[in-house]
Amino acid sequence: MADVIWGSIGALASALKEKKFSAVELTKTFIKRIEIYDRQTNAILNINPKAFETAKKLDEDLAKGNIRGPLHGIPVMVKDNINTSDQMPTTAGSIALQENFAKKDAFLVEKLRLSGAIILAKTNLSEWANFRSVRSISGWSSAGGQSRNPYALDRTPGGSSSGSGVAASSGYCPAAIGTETSGSIVNPAAMNGVVGIKPTVGL
């Protein structure tokens, strides 16, 4: 399954179209990997309880020739300061917001779903995206504890999108969304050995 775990979005999308595996099987593969390895890395705050339901619907659409977009059937994770209108809270890493369930998706989550992505999980982060304190610890939150660098568990995972960087680096998903004000994507990307893209503001 290495080709699945470390496959690019393009390669996975092509394999799904060719029916080499289903979106449900792909989702199962990533969740199994999370269950095995995230006890050490602590990158994931919540797995989406609707992930399999979404994957099954996308498989049904694909069987009918209805491809929603370039991410059809691809599991993606989002940092837990981004609203999702499902059964996962949006906590910003704080226990103060553990019961905060958004009524609607953030704009980028809407776009992900329209492209056919499966929102697989919400990722840990530096609490309040590092606006907690001038001495805050990268990758630590009261909701999720300390995220850990998969290459060396005693080294920093970077922040504030620590969980997203760790998740991508650990093979928990093909792509993960972060947010950045000053280094919160590019720093964990560098620390975890993955590519991070900070888009131009407004785009």
Integer Cα distance of 147 and 124 in angstroms = 7
Residue 198 designated active-site: no
Active-site choice (94, 161, 170, 184): 184
HSE toward the beta carbon, residue 141, CA cutoff 13 A: 35
Neighbour count for residue 2 (Cβ, 10 Å) = 7
**Is residue 79 among the annotated active site residues?**
yes
Locate 94 and state its tokens. Answer: 């704080």
Q: CA-CA-CA-CA torsion for 174, 69, 118, 178, nearest 10 degrees? A: 60
For the question of residue 28 being annotated catalytic, the response is no
Which candidate, 62, 73, 59, places its Cα nearest to that of 30?
73
Judge contact between 168 and 144, C-beta under 8 A. no
Catalytic residue of the set 94, 160, 162, 169:
160
Residue 76, helix vs strand vs coil:
strand
Burial class (CB in 10 A: 0-12, 13-18, 19+), 201: exposed
Among 79, 94, 126, 138, which one carries the catalytic annotation?
79
Residues identified as active-site: 79, 160, 184
